[in-house]
């Protein structure tokens, strides 16, 4: 299929949120290559969707403020959300039940699971503190009464029960946390600064001051069966960061090896990376368009129009066959990133869309 035909695919639009969508992310691959997408929203109602179709599965109800970030655990059994109501919450993705309330003293902006551990969670936000919660130390209450299907009572965990990493290091709110492939390395984005922390010593071991305020910071990877040594990053996850007019990329097991930085003629609100297809996608800042660039020569390949507000988050699916954009306009759009049939896209390039 020619490049011109690929460009003609109409995106799928996911409605349901009533306010801006600051963050979205995908789960790892499940059985039969199924996966899920979760979105954070300033309406306080994070949503779980089918990753391939965008179909709504459920809404996690309970936050009393804007939800800034939402992520799924490595086994997709739980979801974690970070909110302006001074809490992070952990939910059962199958029942929608609230399992844990991580009580903070200010707005929680950032959360992260390790790559292979659903029982640990890192949080950060306006307290300017990076904390690790070990959820396995806190047992859920069994259903009361004779009904085994009665909901469990959520466990509230105060920050005094967590341990802090890099005490006193952050001088601005923590907006993003990334857990590297190496489970002993955590990375935070705060103001203009990217910082690497060593968990065993709880110390900051590296800092990088970027061109501008960091607007997005994500670790990008494909499922193992789809990754290859020929991918960008050699098959390991890649840290993709947007700051000012520059997109930055780091690789290696600790996400600290500089791969590339690309300065564009416009500001960048978000960046996503196609490690297999060797291209990256950015949301303009200011602006409402997503621009697609070639990784090797940085030439512009495409412009995606359709959002009516800035694009704050861009995430690629674990098989790399689509990517999603979350916008200030309250919608999520899903863009096809492969040839032929996939999800709700049925073959060739339709003239009037398939959504």
Say how many residues make up the chain: 355
- H or E element in which residue 6 lies: helix 3-6
HEC readout, 69-113: EEEECCCCCEEEEEECCCEEEEEECCCCCEEEEEECCCCEEEEEC
Q: Give the pLDDT of residue 32.
A: 82
Identify any residues that bridge with 268 across adjacent strands, giving them in sequence order.
Answer: 284
Instruction: Give ∠ CA 27-260-247 in degrees, rounded to 5.
Output: 65
> Which residue in the block uniquely carries the two structure tokens 């935070």?
188
**Angstrom distance (rounded) from CA 268 to CA 214:** 9
- H or E element in which residue 163 lies: strand 163-165
Q: Give the pLDDT of residue 89.
A: 98
> Which residue in the block uniquely carries the two structure tokens 């959520």?
154
Q: What is the DSSP letter of 350?
A: -
Counting as low any pLDDT under 70, the low residues of the chain are: 1-8, 141-150, 347-355
The structure's pTM equals 0.91
Would you say the C-alpha torsion 104, 189, 74, 197 has a positive or negative sign? negative
**Angstrom distance (rounded) from CA 251 to CA 35:** 24
Q: Give the pLDDT of residue 355.
A: 35
Domain ranges across the chain: 3-336
Q: Are 139 and 145 in contact (CB under 8 A)?
A: no
Q: Give the pLDDT of residue 25.
A: 97
Q: Are 159 and 165 in contact (CB under 8 A)?
A: no
Q: Are 26 and 39 in contact (CB under 8 A)?
A: no
Q: What is the DSSP string of 287-299?
A: SS-EEEEETTT--
Question: 237 Cβ partners below 8 Å, 6+ apart?
Answer: 180, 181, 219, 220, 221, 251, 255
Class of domain 3-336 as given by CATH: mainly beta
Q: Give the pLDDT of residue 68.
A: 98
């Amino acid at each position: 299929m020619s490049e011109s035909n690929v460009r003609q695919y109409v995106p799928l639009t996911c409605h349901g949120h009533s306010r801006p969508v600051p963050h979205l992310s995908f789960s790892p691959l499940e059985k039969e290559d199924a996966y899920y997408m979760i979105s954070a929203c300033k309406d306080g109602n994070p949503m779980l969707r089918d990753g391939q179709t965008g179909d709504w599965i459920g809404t996690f109800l309970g936050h009393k403020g804007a939800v800034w970030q939402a992520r799924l655990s490595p086994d997709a059994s739980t979801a974690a959300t970070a909110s302006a109501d001074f809490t992070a919450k952990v939910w059962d993705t199958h029942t929608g039940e609230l399992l844990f309330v991580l009580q903070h003293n200010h707005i929680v902006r950032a959360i992260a699971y390790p790559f292979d551990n659903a029982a640990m969670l890192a949080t950060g936000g306006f307290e300017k503190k990076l904390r690790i919660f070990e959820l396995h130390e806190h047992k859920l209450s069994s259903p009361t009464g004779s009904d085994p299907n009665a909901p469990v009572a959520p466990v509230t965990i105060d920050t005094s029960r967590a341990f802090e990493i890099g005490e006193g290091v952050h001088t601005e709110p923590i907006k993003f946390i990334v857990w590297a492939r190496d489970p002993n390395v955590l990375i935070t984005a705060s103001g203009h600064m990217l910082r690497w922390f060593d968990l065993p010593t709880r110390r900051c071991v590296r800092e990088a001051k970027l061109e501008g305020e960091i607007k997005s910071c994500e670790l990008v990877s494909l499922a193992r069966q789809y990754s290859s040594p020929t991918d960008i990053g050699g098959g390991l996850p890649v840290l993709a960061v947007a700051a000012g007019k520059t997109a930055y990329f780091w690789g290696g097991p600790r996400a600290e090896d500089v791969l590339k930085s690309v300065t564009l003629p416009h500001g960048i609100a978000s960046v996503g990376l196609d490690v297999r297809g060797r291209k990256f996608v950015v949301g303009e800042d200011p602006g409402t368009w997503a621009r697609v660039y070639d990784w090797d020569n940085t030439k512009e390949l495409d412009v995606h129009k359709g959002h009516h507000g800035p694009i704050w988050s861009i995430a690629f699916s674990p098989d790399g066959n689509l990517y999603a954009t979350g916008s200030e306009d309250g919608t999520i759009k899903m863009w096809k990133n492969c040839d032929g049939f996939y999800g709700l896209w049925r073959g060739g390039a339709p003239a009037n869309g398939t959504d």
